[in-house]
Amino acid sequence: MKKVEFSNTDEIKYNYSLKRLQYRKKAGNVSKYYRLDLRSENIDDDLNVISELLYRNEPFVVFGKCTNLYVTERGYDGVFIEIVERRINGIAFDEQNETFTVKADCFLKNFVLHAASLGYDFTTFYGILGLVGSAVCGNSGNNSIEIGKYVELIRVYDIEKREYKNLIPHEFIDFFKVRNSYINEQNKDKTRYIIMECVLKANYIGKQECESRISEKCDERYETDKESDRCGGTAGSFWAASNLPKEYLNQGKKVRDLIEESGIVTANFNGARYVTKKWFLTTAEETRDSDVAELLSYTIKKLKSRYNFEPQNEVVILDYDGKIDAKEFIKRYKI
């Protein structure tokens, strides 16, 4: 069988350690690592390579910078593709329609700042790390406001059909759900879509009001970021809010509130614990996957016993054979 190879050979790494990516404090190696540049002149060639991987049923995953990802110590036995991030450019403003066309590789924070400089209010997303494409795929949000509300069109590359297409969210039933999207669901087992760019629209509130709201967000994030840095990084907000029983959602509560109320925040399994006001998962240098499995198992049992519901992981767990959920992780690693 003919070997397929990415265009930029300098970006191809073999048996590559993911520690430097800070998806968690430590992680195993991936068989092959490649940084995919969505703006490369060879992007069509690279996308065709990814389609070929899918056609041959060869394992691969695609992630954007700062994705909430937990990689096990065994690493990933496949091709780990990371999208090259951009801090500037890639944003076009249509003054007549008051819409922004944003490249998927643009940092969300930079887009929010650019839109704010023109007086348009995406400020609720200022403190969210990662790329615009990742935020749209996961329907990221803050204070019960999610980015899907602002998305009018998503241009994607369909890996299976080897073609570009436009997805218009309002033409689908429930395209966006709480911290989830149609694209994310399609990519759950095998990556089907790569987001290339998005068209977003928000209200005009003026530059001064945008600056005031961003200042509030900075204050809001300060303590969380400070604690996260002190712990050497976190895997992010581990548990999804979408499956919380309505009785608690109606009270304005989230999973992290129940973690605090039930005393789970005091649990520490060899450095595996929850930190910051949002109770992100963190580990220590001595922490093993078996310790994290103990923490997750303890959390599920405690919430099931006290609140009669089982949380689902929002953070992506990547093991040697691909994405797994928290239950499978516990099954594999709990001693």
Per residue in 210-236, pLDDT tens?
A: 999 998 877 666 565 565 555 555 656
Fold assignment, 9-83: 3.30.43
Rounded to whole angstroms, the Cα distance separating 283 from 326 reads 16
Question: pTM for the whole thing?
Answer: 0.90
Distances 287 to 57, 87, 267, 269 between C-alpha atoms, Å? 34, 33, 14, 8
Q: Which residues of 130-154 are buried (b: 16+ CB within 10 A; e: fewer)?
A: bbbbbbbbbbbbbeeebbbebbebb
In DSSP notation, 118-154 reads TTB--GGGTT--SBHHHHHHHT-EETTEEGGGGEEEE
pLDDT digits (tens, 9 = 90+) for 294-321: 999 999 999 999 998 899 998 889 999 9
Return the minimum-mean-pLDDT range out of 206-210, 270-274, 328-332: 270-274
Rounded to whole angstroms, the Cα distance separating 159 from 239 reads 29
Rounded to whole angstroms, the Cα distance separating 33 from 82 reads 8
Rounded to whole angstroms, the Cα distance separating 104 from 124 reads 19
pLDDT at 256 over 90: no
Strand partners, 324: 317
Residue type for position 285: E
CB 79 within 8 A of CB 323: no
Residue type for position 44: D
pLDDT digits (tens, 9 = 90+) for 29-57: 999 999 999 999 999 999 999 999 999 99
pLDDT score of 165: 97
Can you point out the beta strands (E) in the chain? 12-17, 29-36, 60-63, 69-71, 76-83, 91-94, 99-103, 141-142, 145-146, 151-158, 163-167, 176-177, 180-181, 193-200, 273-275, 280-282, 316-319, 322-324
Percent of all residues in the chain with a pLDDT value above 90, rounded to a whole number: 62
Cβ partners under 8 Å of residue 92, min gap 6: 100, 101, 102
Longest dimension (CA), the chain: 61
pLDDT digits (tens, 9 = 90+) for 5-22: 899 888 899 999 887 665
Ranges of each domain in the chain: 9-83, 91-207, 246-333
pLDDT at 259 over 70: yes
pLDDT digits (tens, 9 = 90+) for 94-152: 999 999 999 999 999 999 999 999 999 999 999 888 899 999 999 988 777 899 999 99
Rounded to whole angstroms, the Cα distance separating 233 from 283 reads 8
Task: Say if strands 91-94 and 76-83 run parallel, antiparallel, or are unpaired.
Answer: unpaired
pLDDT score of 234: 62
Task: Say if strands 322-324 and 69-71 run parallel, antiparallel, or are unpaired.
Answer: unpaired
User: Class assignment of domain 91-207?
Assistant: alpha beta
Rounded to whole angstroms, the Cα distance separating 281 from 273 reads 6
CB 151 within 8 A of CB 136: yes
